[in-house]
Structure 1
Amino acid sequence: MESICPIDQRCSHQISALLQPPSPLHVQEYFEQLISKRQCHGIKVKQDGVFGKGVFAETDFEEEQLILKDQMLVGAQHPSNKIDCLVCGYCFKFIGSIEQQIGRKLYLKTLGVSPHYGCENDSSDEDQDNHYVKNHHNPENGASSSSTSTNPLPKMALQSLMNGELSLPYSSRFPLPSVVSCPGGCEEAFYCSKSCAEADWESFHSLLCTGEKSESLSREALLKFIQHANETNDIFLLAAKAISFTILRYRKVKASHLRKQENTAPSILGTSDLSLLLETWKPISIGHKRRWWDCIALPGDIDGSDEAAFRMQIRELAFVSLQFLKEAIFDKECEPLFSLDIYGHIIGMFELNNLDLVVASPVEDYFLYIDDLTYPEKKEAERITQPYLDALGDDYSVCCQGTAFFPLQSCMNHSCCPNAKAFKREEDRDGQATIIALRPICKGEEVTISYIDEDLPFEERQAVLADYGFRCRCTRCLEEEP
């Protein structure tokens, strides 16, 4: 039976206003302000009536030149990746020390901690009707390598690494920011600095913190929401961040308006002013297009005759998630945000526009450095480090993995012969999207990236791109089309 969300009926007028596409003028103003704020002076976002938004070069770019570093609007590390990588919850830089990164990873595994922070145990077969709804927006979901340690180390040695009592040779060559705890007191979010902790608290985390100082309505409901997301699809965590971001912006903007109008009658500013909600919703309104259950790609193991049932199940999954989130952080003045229609559009925005969040691991760099040492320094260093490398196995090189929405990068159109790509350079050690020129790009030329593996044959490329809702008509496809 189809679940009915009463907010969709009660707030239909507000929801319609929120989902109304912004005018071209508002879109242009938004991106011009964003580009100016981020000092990305070499590009411009333009709109045409055919492909929607696009990013164009405002100057000439040379091959391998940096085109753009784009700060995410919303992003999250995959829950399963948190065992392998301790990173800042706001900028996603690695934090602590080489010793802490290695010791923590191995120690958690000796305790039998699973990717979802529970004790590992044998699980029964899942219900046949539910097996295909788990994490289909990212099949790997940031999972660690399946290799396990064949040479477990004593827990005392691992604790000494984590506590800073034991130093590994040459680790000082790879300094990392100290760990800053969550201001709300939870043990899930950590930061590289006080400024990142405060920025995350003010932007997202104050409503989504499970610590004692959390501003959520119910920490118990919040824990249920997080558990449900971890067990089904971590895209819900991104949606929660987007809603929390909008609510917190709404409160901040409203407080500012009230201060400006403190000498006027209170009735001038209503308690649920739709114009304020529209103002704070603008960053999301620029990006959303379709509801999640309408745009999610049909998994390969689902027959076409089962498509309607699959999409209905995805909708039901979102409805269950939304009920947990509503109980945890509901705000009456922002009630339309908790409608299923809005929730579906937010998740759909991530489904269609997300970019993988990847930050290279300094642990991999450290072991490569040891391997490049010359004799006898290498022999002496490996005498100490080799047991840890053996215990880590293939997991020594696991990077920070997650998913994020980048407002400028999301405007870049696809081409099967792109002139740019998302590529992290050696110095790019945070969660920002980095776009590099693949070849010289002339001023006025559109900057394009590939959404897929462009080495696939023509028909396979078109089949994959159909999940994005379009058929590619780039120069290469026009030449290869039968």
Structure 2
Amino acid sequence: MELICPIDQHCSNQIAALLRPPSLPLVQEYFEQLISKRRCQGIKVKQNGEFGKGVFADADFEEEELIFKDQMLVGAQHPSNKIDCLVCSYCFKFIGSVEQQIGRRLYLKTLGIGISSHNGCESNSSDEDEEDHFVQNNHISENGASSSSGSTIPLPTTTVQSLMNGEFALPYSNKFPLPSIISCPGGCEEAFYCSKSCAEADWESSHCLLCTGEKSECCSRKALLKFIQHANETNDIFLLAAKAISFTILRYRKLKASHLSEQEKTASSILGTDLSLLLEAWKPISIGHKRRWWDCVSLPDDIDASDEATFRREIRELAFTSLQLLKEAIFDMECEPLFSLEIYGHIIGMFELNNLDLVVASPVEDYFLYIDDLPYPEKKEAEKITQLYLDALGEDYSICCQGTAFFPLQSCMNHSCCPNAKAFKREEDRDGQATIITLRPICKGNEVTISYIDEDLSFEERQALLADYGFRCRCPKCLDEET
């Protein structure tokens, strides 16, 4: 029996308006304002025929030149990764100190919250731990400082605590200063920040509705905790969807407050939902390409094609369960259409089709590489202390911050199996912004493309993977290999 969401039925007109693709002039105006605000000189977003939007060079670029940096609209660190990396919940810079980063990791190890090893930065399923509400995820550096392999060597608890408490300074750690830790203004113990401005920005954009602390503005903290637990146990993409809905609700409230002020709070402007204001609040989300999640999510390798219908029905039911928990936690009657299953499915589908991995390199890795590169006398003296901590961390010392995010400009970039650009973090890129770098010179007027997949795969493998994005690639490489 198919699940029916009542909001989908009685808000059908508003939902249709929200999901209607914005007009071309509106899209153009939005991106022109965004590019100007972010000072992304040298690019334009234009309609690209059958492929929709595209990013085009508005200046000549040399090889390995920065094209633009893109601030995320919404993003989240994987809940599992929070065990390994303490970062700002808004900009995702590492915070505290090298000592606190190392000490915290080692302390959680002593609690039995281990680090399971994977190659590369990739997420894994996780379970919530009552000690910290965080679950781990990891990254192993393929190059870098030497560390002991196999089992790690534990350190005394007092030694680990002295690192966490700032009572002991590692040699040369002052070469790697990090912002101080700022607590969540709502009093939760899961969000931390690098500055007061980041804390305030996150609170105002979405966190005030998703905070589990005493000052949270959600309808039910108990329901919110259930929603978060469900997302952690099933798919953390639900956390991103919750941020998108919270972001839209708060934008709507600000727009309405401004409107009421201008209209001197006339009775006609106070009552009910103002759809025009809700559409304006929704605009940043409306720009992203969308399909319903259960329609566009890739069929897992372990699911037979004959079971696809059952799989997609189960995914829809999973989204429905998540939505009901979120509705109980943050429901706003004036923004009721946002809590329809149709809208929720399209938001999640937008992230499925457009998200970019959020990766920020660890200063802990940089620190141990610095020690390893010291001249021999200094290195030998420093390693009398640092080697103990490196051995205790083991091969997983270099875990980076990992998550997923939606970037407005990056999401407009089209795919090519012979791309002329890539998402690549340089040494100086130490926050969660997307950084797009040229792979070869790009002339003014040419489209800037990236690869959504591993372009070194065979033609058949590439086309199979790209089918999940809803298109068949016709780039020069594919046309050449197809004939």
Alignment TM-score, normalising by the size of structure 1:
0.94
Q: Deviations over 1:45-92 (max 9, x none)?
A: 000331100000000000000001000000000011101100000000
Q: Confirm or deny that 1:310 pairs with 2:311.
A: yes
| Cα distance change of structure 1 residues 186 and 149 upon mapping to structure 2, 3 Å threshold | farther
In structure 1, distance between residues paired with 2:12 and 2:446: 42
Q: Which residue matches 2:11?
A: 11
Question: What letter is aligned with 2:291?
Answer: R
Question: Structure 1 residue 204: deviation in Å?
Answer: 0.9
SS in 1 for 2:68: strand
Question: Structure 1 residue 4: deviation in Å?
Answer: 1.2
In structure 1, distance between residues paired with 2:152 and 2:169: 23
In structure 2, distance between residues paired with 1:55 and 1:378: 47
Question: Structure 1 residue 112: deviation in Å?
Answer: 1.9
Q: Which residue matches 1:330?
A: 331
Q: Which residue matches 1:33?
A: 33
SS in 2 for 1:468: coil
| Cα distance change of structure 1 residues 141 and 153 upon mapping to structure 2, 3 Å threshold | closer
Q: Which residue matches 1:439?
A: 440
Q: Which residue matches 2:273?
A: 272
Q: Which residue matches 1:137?
A: none
| Cα distance change of structure 1 residues 286 and 273 upon mapping to structure 2, 3 Å threshold | same
Structure 2: gaps (5+ residues): 115-125, 142-148
Question: What letter is aligned with 1:169?
Answer: P
Q: Which residue matches 1:118?
A: 129
Provide the identity percentage. 82
Q: Confirm or deny that 1:374 pairs with 2:375.
A: yes
Q: Deviations over 1:267-314 (max 9, x none)?
A: 135431011000000011110420000000001111000000000000
In structure 2, distance between residues paired with 1:141 and 1:406: 25
CA contact (8 A) 1:81 1:144 kept: no
Q: Which residue matches 2:478?
A: 477
SS in 2 for 1:56: strand
| Cα distance change of structure 1 residues 338 and 357 upon mapping to structure 2, 3 Å threshold | same
CA contact (8 A) 1:254 1:276 kept: yes
Q: Which residue matches 1:66?
A: 66
CA contact (8 A) 2:128 2:232 kept: no
Question: What letter is aligned with 1:90?
Answer: Y
Q: Which residue matches 1:468?
A: 469
| Cα distance change of structure 1 residues 148 and 294 upon mapping to structure 2, 3 Å threshold | farther
5 Å-filtered alignment, 1:332-351, equals 332-351=333-352
Q: Confirm or deny that 1:237 pairs with 2:239.
A: yes
In structure 1, distance between residues paired with 2:12 and 2:401: 40
Q: Which residue matches 1:285?
A: 286
Structure 1: gaps (5+ residues): 121-139
CA contact (8 A) 1:46 1:54 kept: yes
CA contact (8 A) 1:84 1:144 kept: no
In structure 2, distance between residues paired with 1:141 and 1:168: 25
SS in 2 for 1:68: strand
Q: Deviations over 1:180-224 (max 9, x none)?
A: 000000000000000000000000100000000000010010000
Question: What letter is aligned with 1:224?
Answer: K
Q: Which residue matches 1:50?
A: 50
CA contact (8 A) 1:288 1:346 kept: no
Question: Structure 1 residue 261: deviation in Å?
Answer: 1.2
Q: Which residue matches 2:451?
A: 450
Q: Which residue matches 2:75?
A: 75
Q: Which residue matches 1:134?
A: none
5 Å-filtered alignment, 1:401-412, equals 401-412=402-413
Question: Structure 1 residue 453: deviation in Å?
Answer: 0.3
Q: Which residue matches 2:197?
A: 195
In structure 2, distance between residues paired with 1:306 and 1:184: 45
CA contact (8 A) 1:359 1:429 kept: yes
Kindly tell me the number of residue pairs found equivalent between the two proteins.
462
Question: Structure 1 residue 331: deviation in Å?
Answer: 0.2
Q: Confirm or deny that 1:206 pairs with 2:217.
A: no
Question: What letter is aligned with 1:422?
Answer: A
Q: Which residue matches 1:414?
A: 415
Pairwise CA RMSD = 1.6
Q: Which residue matches 2:248?
A: 246
CA contact (8 A) 1:142 1:402 kept: no
Question: What letter is aligned with 2:312?
Answer: R
| Cα distance change of structure 1 residues 333 and 359 upon mapping to structure 2, 3 Å threshold | same
CA contact (8 A) 2:219 2:330 kept: yes
In structure 2, distance between residues paired with 1:396 and 1:184: 32
Q: Deviations over 1:396-430 (max 9, x none)?
A: 11000000000000000000000000000000000
SS in 1 for 2:239: helix
SS in 2 for 1:444: coil
Moved more, 103-112 or 181-190: 103-112
Q: Which residue matches 2:120?
A: none
